[in-house]
Amino acid sequence: MSQFLTQNFFELFDIPLSFDIDLPKLEIQYRDLQRTLHPDRFANASDQERRISVQNTAQLNEAFQTLKSAPLRARYLLQLKGIEFDDEKDTTFDPAFLMEQMELREKLADIKQTADPMTELADFLQDISKLNMAMVSELATLFSNDNDEYLNEAKQVVQKIRFLNKLQQEAEELEEDLLASY
Amino acid sequence: MALLQISEPGQSTAPHQHRLAAGIDLGTTNSLVATVRSGQAETLPDEQGRHLLPSVVRYTNDDIIVGHDARAAASSDPLNTIISIKRFMGRGLEDIKHLGGKLPYHFTEVDSAVPRLQTAAGDKSPVEISSDILKTLKQRAETTLGDDLTGVVITVPAYFDDAQRQATKDAGKLAGLNVLRLLNEPTAAAVAYGLDKEAEGVIAVYDLGGGTFDISILRLNKGVFEVLATGGDSALGGDDFDRLIAQWIMEQAGISDDADHAQLRRLMHAACDAKEALTDSDKTSLEIELADGSFWKGELDRELFNKLVDPLIKKSILPCRRALRDASVSAEEVQAVVMVGGSTRVPRVREKVAEFFGRDPLVDIDPDTVVAVGAAIQADILAGNKPDSDMLLLDVIPLSLGLETMGGLVEKIIPRNTTIPVARAQDFTTFKDGQTAMSIHALQGERELVVDCRSLGRFALHGIPAMVAGAARIRVTFQVDADGLLSVTAREETTGVESGIEVKPSYGLTDNEIETMLRDSMTYVSEDVAARNLREQQVEAERVLEALAAALAQDGELLNRDERSEVDNAAAKLQAARDGNDPAVIKSAMEAVDKAAEEFVARRMDGNIQRALSGHNIEEFD
């Protein structure tokens, strides 16, 4: 097997293992690797090379998407540090956060009945994106404290972002429904 | 290299020789073929100098007529003259009924989910009809260029789902083409535009054709064309504009819904002419012959036309908004909006697009030919004619891919706008004690319920060892290749029982059907099937040998003497098999080469990765 598939994502891009990453460098490395690995480079190669090319590029894309996105990068880093995630069982207990989530959910449920649901929905999605950004900066702060206590706190934030993503997904599903009935 | 001294007339694939490759835009209304000659990509005309080939096929008892002559007969022979077949690609009969408009064709329902149209030449599936269009373009290219095509790139709407893509690829295969890649139409347009204008930064491609609409947001950076997001509607286009005008005429002229097919075709023609006339004038007059031989005369002005089509244009703006959001790009960040497809000639479309993006769209490139030109550029590179090219296209899947879970719900495995190729796995478990099989249903779409998504295919994983509910661990892996085509595998992790499918879409043709069609196809009537098979294997063997020789010349030092002689031995055997006349022997010799070169290939790939990471291109080491 190509060693490419067994490296961790940071090694794969030859960048330091850290939450705070050099995004422009990541993008340059990504493009250089794409130029080398992409199936278009192997259109005339053997079946085997073409197969490996698809596998490698899929891995490269996965690695790039993971490191590019702050919450995914945080989750991946925590997993490398031995923190386990179990999406079925893990829950977050911060009451203020849960209250806020409930309110947001109620708001989303009511959007369908408003006079201009598309605009309301756009505003709603904007709000979620702001909350998301706030949490990402919280993650940056946590990871910059170089001690182990932050690990579990960071995990909590990652889970909160997951909540938000779910909400965002539901909002987007509502948008699909609105578009379909349009 | 001694390995490479193969050169027979007519089938030479010697290295560094220019390989004939073409880009094909298989459109709803018109199709085109383009190629790169002397460094210049250009569309190829027919003998009368016409570049556009109307995507119309007429079947008679003893002939297949494609293009202008077929279109001319559309009103007089509506049942046997098939127009806009692209709208039916990868669709089931139920979908087709929902496409809108009254269809003149008679359909035959068969066991296969693929609808067949009854014609004078027998029942024809959309794949076969499309392949007849492709054959005409293939012939045009080969006559013009004087030799067989090595390979082609066929464009598809970015918003085409897996079934529609698979159907297009099947049509290419059926036409006897080597399909190097399916390329998304807006991406092809971006390539032609980007290379021509040396553009960098974020651009949007708004592509409104005869039957499909796409919006793609791309980032252009030093030869890399990265699609950030795409969206669209695979059943929205100029045909719908025509239909609305035709409906309006029917209301005005008192023509009833059950008018005959010839009348309806004439109406659609008149509607299309009126639409085109309104591009340059403010009003146009209409004259329609009625069933009783009298004439209805009327006038359509641009204001009313705009009112009629505004809802359709609005339907195209919503996906633009979503694509921008998916791309995390604001309208202001878009540096250019490129207009593609004949329907972007409609002034109202340009107006509304300008309004949405806050800038005038670019209309100085030919919206009809730009897609074929971009495809030709990509085909030229994939055929290996430009080994030093820096160009790279990174595309995405347009619609989420998922699996059916309990309660008729869809669990998304790969979300839309994920860069391809992509592979993603998800673990599932059994829900009953002693359960030994699991059914896997792959779906595509954004909606939550199975019934609202497109069914791509079903298969079953058998042989799961009987365990208590929840103990088995079944890993389902979705892999999407560079054509945007999905394959699914399922594996029970504790025992390694495996099952998989190349997803054959529910509305696709089975391999057997394609095989039969190939055999029945006109192209091969005069040609012995066995001879063709042998030749295909020989060409493939040459390709393998050539690729291996090139790789060894470049990185031969990665192998020690023993390893090298093992590879050389396998290659020599393949060379001998290639000179023989048994396709099965050639095939197994190729497999042996693959196996012998396995380690070499892996080391070579790792070496390339190292070089890429240290900031050097492989080219610099040549």
**Of B81, B104, B100, nearest in space to B91 by CA:** B100
Instruction: Give residue B4's pLDDT.
Output: 32
Whether the CB-CB separation of B43 and B23 falls below 8 Å is answered with no
Which residues are paired to B282 by β-bridges? Answer: none
pLDDT for B323 equals 94
Give the long-range contacts of residues B423-426, CB within 8 A, separation 24 or more.
Answer: B423/A55, B423/A58, B423/A59, B423/A62, B423/B477, B423/B478, B423/B479, B423/B480, B424/A62, B424/B477, B424/B478, B425/B475, B425/B476, B425/B477, B425/B478, B426/B475, B426/B476
Structure-block tokens of residue B287: 């004259």
Tell me whether residues A62 and B424 touch, CB distance under 8 A: yes
Contact residues, chain A, for B606 at CB < 8 Å:
2-4
How far is B55 from B86, CA to CA, in rounded Å? 9
Look at residue B240 and give its three-state secondary structure: helix
A30 contacts in chain B (CB < 8 Å): none
Long-range contacts of B276-284 (CB under 8 A, 24+ apart): B276/B345, B278/B302, B278/B305, B278/B346, B278/B347, B279/B345, B279/B346, B279/B347
Which residues, other chains included, contact B396 with Cβ-Cβ below 8 Å and sequence gap of 6+? B227, B228, B229, B230, B416, B417, B418, B419, B420
Backbone angles phi, psi at B191, to 5 degrees: -65, -50
Q: How far is A149 from chain B (nearest CA, A)?
A: 31
- The length of chain B in residues reads 622
Cβ of B605 within 8 Å of Cβ of A37? The answer is: yes
Chain B residues whose CB is inside 8 A of the A56 CB are 605
Residues of A with CB below 8 A from B321's CB? 122
Min distance B79 CA to chain A CA atoms (Å) = 32
Strand partners, B486: B480
Residue B504 has pLDDT above 70, yes or no: no
Q: Closest chain B residue to A172 measured between Cα atoms?
A: B446
Chain B residues close to A35, C-beta within 8 Å: 224, 390, 392, 612, 617
- pLDDT given for residue B509 in this prediction: 55
Residue of chain B whose alpha carbon sits nearest to that of A58: B422
Are B184 and B370 within 8 A, CB to CB?
Answer: no
**Higher per-residue pLDDT: B100 or B556:** B556
Segment B432-443 mean pLDDT: 87
Selecting from B479, B593, B598 the residue whose C-beta is nearest the C-beta of A58 gives B479
pLDDT band per the 50, 70, 90 thresholds, residue B503: low
What is the distance between the alpha carbons of residues B59 and B568, in angstroms, rounded to a whole number? Answer: 53
Look at residue B460 in the predicted model and tell me its pLDDT.
81
Query: Which parts of B357-406 are beta strand (E)?
Result: 392-394, 401-405
pLDDT given for residue B56 in this prediction: 97
| Cross-chain residue pair A49–B381, CB shorter than 8 Å | no
Q: Given this model, what pLDDT does residue B256 score?
A: 82
Share of chain B above pLDDT 70, in %: 89
The closest of B543, B585, B548, B573 to B6, measured between CA atoms, is B543
SS3 B35: strand
Helix (H) or strand (E) holding A40: none
pLDDT in tens, B325-379: 899 999 999 999 999 999 999 999 999 999 999 999 999 889 999 999 999 999 9
- For residue B311, give the chain A residue with the closest CA: A182
Say which of B382, B601, B602 has its CB closest to residue A43: B382
The model's confidence at residue B7, banded by pLDDT at 50, 70 and 90, is very low
What's the pLDDT score for residue B619?
45
| pLDDT recorded at residue B347 | 95
Average pLDDT, chain A: 87
DSSP string spanning A107-174?
HHHHHTTSS-HHHHHHHHHHHHHHHHHHHHHHHHHHHHS-STTHHHHHHHHHHHHHHHHHHHHHHHHH
Residue A78 DSSP code:
H
Q: Kindly determine whether residue A177 and residue B447, on different chains, have CB atoms separated by under 8 Å.
A: yes
Cβ distance of A33 and B601 shorter than 8 Å? no
Can you list the domains of chain A with their CATH numbers?
2-68 (1.10.287.110), 95-181 (1.20.1280.20)
Pair type for strands B401-405 and B201-208:
unpaired
For B252-288, letters b (16+ CB in 10 Å) and e give eeebeeeeebebbbbbbbbbbebbebbeeeeebebeb
**End-to-end CA distance of chain A, in Å?**
50
d(CA B169, CA B507): 14
The Cα–Cα gap between B247 and B271 comes to: 9
The C-alpha of B83 sits at a distance from chain A's nearest C-alpha, in angstroms, of: 27
**Res B493 pLDDT > 70:** yes
pLDDT at A92 over 70: no
Residue B362 is classified by DSSP as B
pLDDT bracket for residue B110 (50, 70, 90):
low
What's the pLDDT score for residue B36?
95
| Shortest CA distance from B601: residue in chain A | A49
ipTM entry: 0.86
Residue type, B108: T
Mean pLDDT of A89-94: 71
Nearest by CB: B381 against A40, A48, A61? A40
Subunit contact B612:A32, Cβ cutoff 8 A: yes
CA distance B262 to B266: 6
The rounded distance, in Å, linking the Cα atoms of A107 and A152 is: 30
User: The dihedral of CA B260, B264, B265, B270: what is its sign?
Assistant: positive
By C-alpha distance, which of A66, A48, A68, A67 is closest to A1?
Answer: A48
pLDDT digit string (tens) for B273-327? 999 999 999 999 999 888 788 889 999 999 999 999 999 999 999 899 889 989 9
Between chains, do A52 and B421 touch, taking CB under 8 Å as contact? no
Alpha carbon of B298: minimum distance to chain A alpha carbons (Å): 31
Q: Which residues in chain A touch residue B547, judged by CB atoms under 8 angstroms apart?
A: 44-46, 49
**What is the band of B2 on the pLDDT scale with cuts at 50, 70, 90?**
very low
Question: Binning pLDDT at 50, 70 and 90, where does residue B455 land?
Answer: confident
Check residues B18 and B616 and name the one with the higher pLDDT: B18
Using CA atoms, how far apart are residues B580 and B96, in angstroms rounded to an integer? Answer: 49
Residues of B forming the active site: 25, 86, 185, 207
Higher pLDDT, B511 or B109: B109
Cβ contacts of A24 within 8 Å, gap of 6 or more? none
Tens digit of each residue's pLDDT (9 = 90 or more) over A8-62: 999 999 999 999 999 999 999 999 999 989 999 888 777 788 888 999 999 999 9
pLDDT at B511: 57
Contact A54 B546 (CB under 8 A): no
* CB contact (8 A) between residue A179 and residue B318: yes
For the residues B2-15, what does the mean pLDDT come to?
36
pTM of the model: 0.85
* A142 CA: distance to closest CA in chain B (Å): 25
Would you say B174 and B127 are in contact if contact means Cβ atoms under 8 Å apart? yes
Q: Which residue in chain A has the smallest CA separation from B613?
A: A29
Residues in A touching B444 (Cβ below 8 Å): none
Cβ-nearest to B548 among A39, A46, A182: A46
Subunit contact A31:B598, Cβ cutoff 8 A: no
- How does residue B519 score in pLDDT terms, banded at 50, 70 and 90? low
Three-class SS state of B231: strand
What does the pLDDT read at residue B440?
Answer: 87
The mean-pLDDT minimum among A127-136, B63-72, B95-104, B433-442 falls in: B95-104
CB-CB under 8 Å, B548 with A36: no
CA distance B543 to chain A (A): 7
B139-180 residue pLDDT tens: 999 999 999 999 999 999 999 999 999 999 999 999 999 999
Binary contact (A61, B418; C-beta < 8 A): yes
Nearest to A58 among B384, B421, B593 (CB): B421
Check whether B621 has a pLDDT greater than 50.
no
Q: Kindly state the DSSP code that residue B620 receives in the 8-state scheme.
A: G
Residues of chain B found within 8 Å of residue A50, distances taken between Cβ atoms: none
Task: Tell me: cis bond preceding B398? Omega within 30 of 0 counts.
Answer: no
pLDDT at B464: 82
Q: If you measure CA to CA, which chain B residue comes closest to A11? A: B613
pLDDT of B533 over the 80 cut: no
Cβ contacts from A onto B, under 8 A: 126
Using CB atoms, which residue from A38, A47, A64 is nearest to B594?
A: A47
What is each CA distance from B429 to B193, B468, B473, in whole angstroms?
A: 49, 10, 5
Residues B603-617 have a mean pLDDT of 73
User: Is B419–A56 a contact, with Cβ atoms under 8 angstroms apart?
Assistant: no
C-beta separation of A160 from A132 below 8 A? no
